[in-house]
Amino acid sequence: MSIDFSKIPTPCYLIEEELLRNNLQLIKSVQEQAGITIILAFKGFSMWRAFPIIREYITGAAASGACEAKLASEEMKTLAHTYSAAFQQSDFKDVLENSSHITFNSLTQLSRYLPDIQNFSRKISVGLRVNPEFSEVETALYNPCSPGTRLGILAEQLGSVLPEGVEGLHFHTLCESGAEDLVKTLEAFEAKFGKYLANLKWINMGGGHLMTRKGYDLDLLINTLKAFKQRWNNLEVILEPGSAFAWETGVLVSEVVDVVETKGIKTAILNISFTAHMPDCLEMPYKPRIRGAYQDAIDGKPTYRMGGNSCLAGDYMGFWSFDDVLNAGDQVVFEDMIHYTMVKSTMFNGVHHPSIGIWNENKGFKLLRSFNFDDYKNRMA
Ligand SMILES: Cc1ncc(COP(=O)(O)O)c(C=O)c1O
């Protein structure tokens, strides 16, 4: 049953259960074929009402700090692999209680918190994030290896042996990347950090492995990981993608509220905002696809910018063409709006936050959450 959009309230982030299950099946099969562990990075997708579905396939979670680690315990029913650019003392008790692995971004953070970990009632495995100083990511905003980066310890900052208590290394250098990028990254990583690997228990290769994108070379990924494991059979290999889980699994359904025209440019003003609800479009930047629209302007067809409903002058994108003229009340459906949307949205201008729903082929639409004035007010004091 294809989605009946007349049943969807706007605005709404709408995930399709079957598409999510397809991604999960693929990720699970990579995990099994390569003999590795794949965990979900909550930073990209933490729609916890979907965790019961996820747990049918994948059981682990990667957290960026105390809140995500707590969410892992409460809703994913697992202890998290937690890494933060800098842990704060006031949060660290929650981090300890909800993590199986804790990875530090600096040697000072390691020495500050290692005693707490060693005195904790349960064993927690300790890792360090290192920087292989190699990344193919071209957008500076998403490149953790750009000069002067604060993310990860450089090889030159480590001694000939790793500090006492460290059991794993973590690197994260990819972003929406192919398996070819991992191959090159591993070369750089092993050249710089290979001397430590024989004495470790695990290696976490971060996120950015977009294995659910069409055309991703899964065989190359699996063979690369298998070959790595053959070289280092003492190591558990962990990947922590976020985007790959929710890639192309759903849409943001919006509605035209008004159409304005200035010097021949028509803008359809929507009941959503790029900056508040699809921030990566402006930050990356990239132009999202709209269902049923032409991705570029076509002469002779009704052509519009899409405008957000915030006051930010740059809260628009365009142009797209349509077969028919747009009017107030028409739906506009943005594709692939599940990963890095809900997790990054804001209530800037108090604009109405999209509700969150799920579509199941047999059961149809289920509204999971809607937002109101109290949600807006309770973020402030
Ligand atoms: C340390 C770390 N792990 C995992 C991820 C998830 O990456 P992605 O969602 O691109 O797979 C990120 C993303 O920024 C990250 O910084």
pLDDT digits (tens, 9 = 90+) for 97-139: 999 999 999 999 999 999 999 999 999 999 999 999 988 888 8
Q: Is 173 in the pocket of ligand 1 (CB under 6 A)?
A: no
* Contact assessment for residue 265 and residue 316, using Cβ atoms and an 8 Å cutoff: no
- Which pair of structure tokens corresponds to residue 245? 């889980």
The CA 250 to ligand 1 mean position distance, Å, reads: 20
- Which pair of structure tokens corresponds to residue 30? 């990579």
* Contact assessment for residue 15 and residue 359, using Cβ atoms and an 8 Å cutoff: yes
The CA 267 to ligand 1 mean position distance, Å, reads: 34
What's the pLDDT score for residue 5? 94
Q: Which residue has the tokens 């990579």?
A: 30
| Residue nearest atom 13 in ligand 1 by C-alpha distance | 207
What's the pLDDT score for residue 214? 98
What's the pLDDT score for residue 242? 98
Report strand pairing: 331-335 vs 250-262: antiparallel
Q: Is 175 in the pocket of ligand 1 (CB under 6 A)?
A: yes
Report strand pairing: 303-307 vs 265-270: parallel
What's the pLDDT score for residue 135? 83
Q: Report which ligand 1 atom has the smallest distance to the Cα of 44.
A: 9
* Contact assessment for residue 254 and residue 95, using Cβ atoms and an 8 Å cutoff: no
Report strand pairing: 250-262 vs 12-16: antiparallel
Helix (H) or strand (E) holding 320: strand 316-321
| Residue nearest atom 7 in ligand 1 by C-alpha distance | 207
* Contact assessment for residue 310 and residue 276, using Cβ atoms and an 8 Å cutoff: yes
The CA 262 to ligand 1 mean position distance, Å, reads: 40
Separation of alpha carbons 303 and 294, rounded Å:
9
- As beta bridge partners, residue 317 has 306
The CA 175 to ligand 1 mean position distance, Å, reads: 7
Q: How many residues does the chain have?
A: 381
**pLDDT per residue as tens, the chain (381 positions):** 789 999 999 999 999 999 999 999 999 999 999 999 999 999 999 999 999 999 999 999 999 999 999 999 999 999 999 999 999 999 999 999 999 999 999 999 999 999 999 999 999 999 999 999 988 888 888 888 888 889 999 999 999 999 999 999 999 999 999 999 999 999 999 999 999 999 999 999 999 999 999 999 999 999 999 999 999 999 999 999 999 999 999 999 999 999 999 999 999 999 999 999 999 999 999 999 999 999 999 999 999 999 999 999 999 999 999 999 999 999 999 999 999 999 999 999 999 999 999 999 999 999 999 999 999 999 999
| Residue nearest atom 15 in ligand 1 by C-alpha distance | 207
Domains and CATH numbers, the chain: 5-13+250-337+345-377 (2.40.37.10), 35-246 (3.20.20.10)
Q: Is 11 in the pocket of ligand 1 (CB under 6 A)?
A: no
What's the pLDDT score for residue 56? 98
What's the pLDDT score for residue 268? 98
170-224 confidence digits (pLDDT tens): 999 999 999 999 999 999 999 999 999 999 999 999 999 999 999 999 999 999 9
Q: Is 41 in the pocket of ligand 1 (CB under 6 A)?
A: yes
If you write DSSP's letter for every residue of 269-315 in order, what string do you get?
EESS-HHHH-HHHHHTT----BTTSBSS--TTS-EEEEE-SSS-TT-
- Which pair of structure tokens corresponds to residue 237? 């290999």
For the question of whether the overall pTM of this predicted structure is more than 0.95, the answer is yes
Q: Is 152 in the pocket of ligand 1 (CB under 6 A)?
A: no
The phi, psi pair for 226, rounded to 5°, reads -65, -45
The CA 151 to ligand 1 mean position distance, Å, reads: 12
| Residue nearest atom 16 in ligand 1 by C-alpha distance | 172
Helix (H) or strand (E) holding 102: strand 99-104
**DSSP letter (8 states) at residue 310:** S
At residue 151's C-alpha, the angle toward residues 146 and 153, to 5°, is 105
Q: Is 168 in the pocket of ligand 1 (CB under 6 A)?
A: no
What's the pLDDT score for residue 369? 97
Q: Is 247 in the pocket of ligand 1 (CB under 6 A)?
A: no
